[in-house]
Chains A and B, each alone.
Chain A
Amino acid sequence: MKKTFALEDLDCANCAAKMENGIKKLDGVKDCSVSFMTQRMTVEAEDGVDLDELMKRVVKLCRKVEPDMRIKL
């Protein structure tokens, strides 16, 4: 399952890359891409993964990298 989220106040391109790599390593994530330019995050979850729970982990990880950014869930 693939879902796209809008991001707010993402203003560091390097952080976007760090988040992307971090999310890719999370359990249950098949692929992920964070676009600094379009301020969008696409998360592709593996089949049968609880997306709400996964997004909670994604949010937690992103807060560590870029605390000012918000994901519009």
Chain B
Amino acid sequence: MTRRQKKTLVRIIVSSVLFAAALIISHAAELPWWAELLTFLPSYLIVGWDVLWKAARNIVHGQVFDECFLMSIATLGAFAVREFPEAAAVMLFYQVGELFQSVAVGRSRRSIAALMDIRPDHANVIRDGCETEVSPDEVKTGEIILVKAGERIPLDGVIIEGSTSLDTAALTGESIPRDVTAGENAISGAVNIGSVIKVRTTGVYSESTVARILELVESASSRKARAENFITRFAKYYTPAVVISAVLLAVLPPLLFSGEWAEWIHRALIFLVVSCPCALVISVPLSFFCGMGGASKKGVLIKGSTYLEALSKAETIVFDKTGTLTSGSFEVSAIHENGVSKAELLDIAALAESYSDHPVARSIVRAHGGHIDPARIGRVTELAGQGLEAEIDGRTVCAGNARLMERIGVTPVCRHGCGDCVNGTCVHIASGGKYLGHIMISDLVKPGSEKAIAELKRSGVLTVMLTGDSRTAAENVGARLRIDEVHSELLPEDKVSIVEGLLAKKRGGTLAFAGDGINDAPVLSRADVGIAMGALGSDAAIEAADVVLTDDDPAKIPLALRISKKTMRIVRQNIVFALAVKLAVLVLGALGFADMWIAVFADVGVAVLAILNAIRAMKA
């Protein structure tokens, strides 16, 4: 509890004691009304003076309809109709409820903040042979830092000495520590739970993984969901509407039907107590906040409640194949030469592909393993979605997919009975109009993909896979994972148009696109919800995506969907519950069946229950 909350608690205790005493006195003795007023007044003022003061101050500031105003009017009105015990009790209960709310909200806020607390507080940098402790943003790129056991890695870098285990739970939700050794990457935000390591930083703090995650999480609440905005708009009309009806309720029946003034004013006061929208105004954002907090604990960073809402309505999820459903680590699985030797074919392919960053190209270079002489390579032209054209030893070599072969008018030949390269991607190589053979590359399906797709399909989501790879490779993966729709041999712009086509076809739900962020930015931003996987390295993907998965496990997608659905369910429960109770009490109050106690429950009691319900969203 904060100091302010403790003070309120003391006031509540003192006031309750005085209230009990006043209740006993007023029952024991038959007091005149002014004496009874005096016995209840101390208890009322001790617990309620700040509410009265705030109400007065806010009226001066032109803010009329707030909680304090409503409670002040309701309790002062109760005094006016000589319901003294009720006036004091209502104020007392209001404050108890407020205190409870403030403690509950504060607690969940802190537990989420703790969950997101991955900010490193210092870095041990080695300068001039000495170890100095500095703030992480004072460390420059390329400096050497020391990370001791139990410390958080402050900046991204490469381990140059030592080997250890890293706890990345706060980043990815993965509870199994990762063993790393010299030469491997150290991700900032991970905790070193083994022995001391030396890390050479590869960037400054502001560009580090940890700074990016924090930035994402902290600005998350600025993009609000429709449900959240609805509540704000609703509160704007709800309170004045109830206050006006309260006034009418107090004035009209006595004037028109000669009702008793005290009775109808009393009923109007009940209206005022119920009219506070706080149960909704607090619990709805709190539900979203808890849902997003719980998700980020599992390594699913959602950029705003609006995306959480959209995700919960996903009816189509489009996956990129490479890097999303498959690991994107390719391996040369076979070399089928045609008229040249296997070694020659691999040599030519490796030379041609040596400048490309494409994972397929890199796997060919890896398979070659030997020295690549840059002097043998001339001009290299990349042809998006097809492959590339390179000058090797003065000859033009084309390396790429079947579409490229078709374009240059070469027919692939296979004398090894592999059909159309069934088990993966195939890089065809041709030179001077002659087909030299093809290299088969297989891409491993990620272990979590099958389960992820199965779970999504069970929950009624249409799954679609897009890829630039060959049709056979794509259909092979698609069949294994039982994906509903497979589109292959796509150029980057084709992916956008297919997603647009699917967007036009959807019925009321939303479309999510999951990709690894490489070349995906246009599609990510086109989809209703863009999900970037393991994208902490790619700025463009983080910028374009709405949901960022800190690792590349596809199982996180159904998890994110589950969390979003649960959160939305809680939000709806809270809205319906709070409105139903309030409406019921309003009706009962108008008819004279509800007393002030029920009204106080409808206000603070409902708020407290809604808050407790909202906190459930955190435990996904």
Interface of chain A, helix or strand or loop or mixed? Answer: mixed
Which of A12, A15, A38 lies in contact with B289, CB distance below 8 A?
Answer: A38
Number of inter-chain CB pairs below 8 Å: 58
Cα(A21)–Cα(B235), bound, Å:
13
Complex CA–CA separation, A25 to B158 (angstroms): 49
Residues in B neighbouring A14, C-beta threshold 8 A: 66-67, 235, 277-278, 281
A67–B57 CB distance below 8 A: yes
* Residues of chain A whose beta carbon lies under 8 Å from any beta carbon of chain B: 4, 9, 11-15, 17-18, 20-21, 33, 35-40, 42, 64-65, 67
The count of chain B contact residues (Cβ–Cβ below 8 Å) is: 29
* Apart from A4-B218, A21-B236, A38-B218: 18 A-B pairs, beta carbons within 8 A: A4-B219, A12-B66, A12-B67, A13-B282, A14-B235, A20-B232, A33-B221, A33-B223, A35-B222, A37-B105, A37-B109, A37-B112, A37-B285, A38-B221, A40-B218, A64-B62, A64-B63, A67-B61
**B residues touching A (Cβ–Cβ < 8 Å)?**
4, 57, 61-63, 66-67, 102, 105, 109, 112, 218-224, 232, 235-236, 277-278, 281-282, 285-286, 288-289
Establish whether residues A42 and B66, one from each chain, have CB atoms under 8 Å apart when the complex forms: no
Complex: A42 Cα to B222 Cα, angstroms: 7
Chain A nearest CB, measured from B603 CB (Å)? 13
Is the CB–CB distance between B61 and A36 below 8 Å? no
Of A9, A13, A67, the contact of B281 (CB 8 Å cutoff): A13
Chain B residues with CB under 8 A of A33: 221-224
* Chain A nearest Cβ from B614, distance in angstroms: 10
Which residues in B have their C-beta under 8 angstroms from that of A17? 232, 235, 281
Q: Considering only CB atoms, which chain B residue lies closest to A41 in the complex?
A: B222
**Nearest CB of chain A from residue B402's CB, rounded to whole Å:** 47
Give, as a whole number of angstroms, the nearest-CB distance from B60 to chain A: 9
Distance in angstroms between the alpha carbons of A64 and B61 in the assembled complex: 6
Report yes or no: B222 in contact with A36, Cβ–Cβ below 8 A.
no
Cα A9 to Cα B3 in complex, Å, equals: 11
How close is A66's CB to chain B, nearest CB, in angstroms?
A: 9
B217 nearest CB neighbor, chain A only:
A38
Distance between Cα atoms of A65 and B67 in the complex (Å) = 12
Residues of chain B lying within 8 A (CB to CB) of residue A15: 66
CB < 8 Å: which of A4, A36, A65 contacts B63? A65
| A42 near B281: Cβ-Cβ < 8 Å | no
B282: which A residues are within 8 A, CB to CB? 13, 36
Q: Considering the chains assembled together, what is the distance between the CA atoms of A65 and B63 in angstroms?
A: 7
- Across the interface, which residues of B come within 8 angstroms of A35, CB to CB? 221-222, 285
Among B222, B236, B282, residue most surrounded by chain A Cβ atoms (within 10 Å): B222
